[in-house]
Amino acid sequence: MAGTIEGLPETGVWIDNASHPAASGETFATLNPATGEVITRVASGDEPDVSRAVDSARAALRNPAWGRIDPHERARLLWRLAELIEENADELARLETADNGKTWFESRKVDLPQVVSTFRYFAGMADKVHGETIPVPGPFMNYTRREPVGVVGCIVPWNFPLSLASWKVAPALACGNTVVLKPAEETPLSALRLGELAAEAGLPPGVLNVVPGFGTKAGAALVQHPDVALISFTGSTETGRLIVREAAGTLKQVSLELGGKSPNVIFADADVGAAIRGAASGIFYGKGEVCAAGSRILVERPVYDEVVDALAERAASLTPGDPMARETRMGAIVSETQLERVLGYIDAGRREGARLVAGGRRHDPGGRGFFVDATVFADVTPEMTIAREEIFGPVAAVLPFDDFEEGIELANRTIYGLAAGVWTRDVAKAHRFAAAVDAGVVWVNTYNRYDPATSFGGFKASGSGRELGMKAALEKYTREKSVWVSLA
């Protein structure tokens, strides 16, 4: 199977615009999940490497070439980085697909263009970061300054390695911060390449450092470091809880974009064909390894059978295959551990009495690689494990409901609150649903839409803080200072 990147050299820790071996000299293997083969070995960062990266990021804040840079020039550098990413999009997409198992279609046609537009959008913001003048009583004037928070630690997961890195790195740099980026141990390659491209774009040394390594080592060291002002984390809810604890000692700010069990709600008055297509891509896109995956498909009774049958049919037509092949639309699960986890949930669905209508098995093209068939369970009840826990795989749980109130009640019956979809032709019903659902993002008659100009993030156990959007970026990546001046 294609996908292995021939002759990719071992990669180091990226600090001060140069590659270094880890202080310990240790490396770890990164695998191609479509073949189970080692792509290359990567330096295993730990506390000394994180400290070195943070020192470099602190020095870069003081370096006039970054700390006092003309904001128009900062914008130009970020725009240049966007251009370099675009010029190297084929290579970056190959790294992403080899490392993660996602299809070439997703890496090259969806993720990479999004990464480029994210850097472009935030390049546009870089010279528009400013405070306000506030009218105050008496002979005084008051104004606010929006300053960079300092060194930002960005910790990202393996499902959208470069996209999610760009969601953090671009706004953090636009606001004048410096960054230490910790990619997931499963997928470090595209982030390391981003570090090189940032240097090529002209970002001064230390502005963007990349420390690959394990979460409990490099990740924990970054969160605990006293000179890191803010941790911007995307990952599982479980790890989010650990991070809050790790951060408590230094009282740094923490922004969390965590897991979900998002409802995709189909009312009987919907354009049912569009709803079925949206529900299928809402759970199967990205192998379901998507924090906002519409993993609970709630269907109003009159169209329930029709939706279940059509979803089963669509799932059966989504054969997993070589992620590098241009026509493949379902790639490999990121790792063997994740594959086992997904299969475990499928077993739980069967055991607890859900009706399996599609998939349900490991897919085995030639005995190699970590593939699973697109799976649909019907007649799921809200108490079942597969209706409650985030699976992070291509497994849909379909539940019937009888009216609007029950639909909303089921939609909100979860510890999570990341995203929600609603399908109806009734405009008032759509808005009533959008207002009543506990989710940070609501999609009406569509699903999985993202844009750098609008915010993304969750309620409840799906996290706090927002990604993307000018306002959210300003609040998260700057600190506000209020200045009083006597006019007497």
Task: Give the interface with ligand ADP as residue ranges (CB under 6 A).
Answer: 155-157, 182, 184-185, 214-216, 219-220, 223, 235-236, 239, 242-243, 246
The dihedrals phi and psi of 431, each to the nearest 5 degrees, come to -70, -35
**Annotated active-site residue in 106, 186, 257, 300:** 257
Least separation in angstroms between residue 215's CB and ligand ADP is: 2
Shortest Å, Cβ 223 to ligand ADP: 5
CA-CA distances (angstroms) from residue 171 to 120, 405, 441, 466?
A: 10, 39, 20, 12
For 295, 320, 381, the CA distances from 419, given in Å and listed in that order, are 10, 26, 20
Which residue sits closest to ligand ADP, CB atoms considered? 215
As a whole number of Å, the end-to-end CA separation of the chain is 77
Annotation says 257 is catalytic:
yes
Cβ closer to ligand ADP: 44 or 56? 44
Catalytic residue among 96, 291, 300, 467: 291
By C-alpha distance, which of 479, 476, 449, 450 is closest to 465?
A: 476
Which residue number, 231 or 324, has a Cβ lying nearer to ligand ADP?
231
Where do we find the tokens 């199967």? 284
Residue 276 corresponds to which tokens in the numbers above? 């079925």
Both tokens assigned to 122:
């935030």
> Is 291 noted as a catalytic residue in this protein?
yes
CA distance 253 to 151: 11
- For residue 363, the tally of other CB atoms under 10 A from its CB is 18
Question: Which residue's CB is nearer to ligand ADP, number 150 or number 157?
Answer: 157
d(CA 119, CA 79): 7
Tokens of 54: 């943070």
Q: What is the DSSP letter of 414?
A: S
Closer residue to ligand ADP, CB minimum distance, 198 or 220: 220
CB proximity list for 95: less than 8 A, separation 6 or greater:
5, 189, 190, 193
Q: 123 or 155: whose CB is closer to ligand ADP?
A: 155
**148-185 as b/e: b if 16+ CB within 10 A:** bbbbbbbbbbbbbbbbbbbbbbbbbbbbbbbbbbbbbb
Q: Which is nearer to ligand ADP, 184 or 410 (CB)?
A: 184
Among candidates 28, 40, 29, which has minimal Cα distance to 4?
40
Task: Take residue 156 and report the two structure tokens written for it.
Answer: 């990202």
Q: Are 165 and 191 in contact (CB under 8 A)?
A: yes
The residues assigned a catalytic role are 257, 291
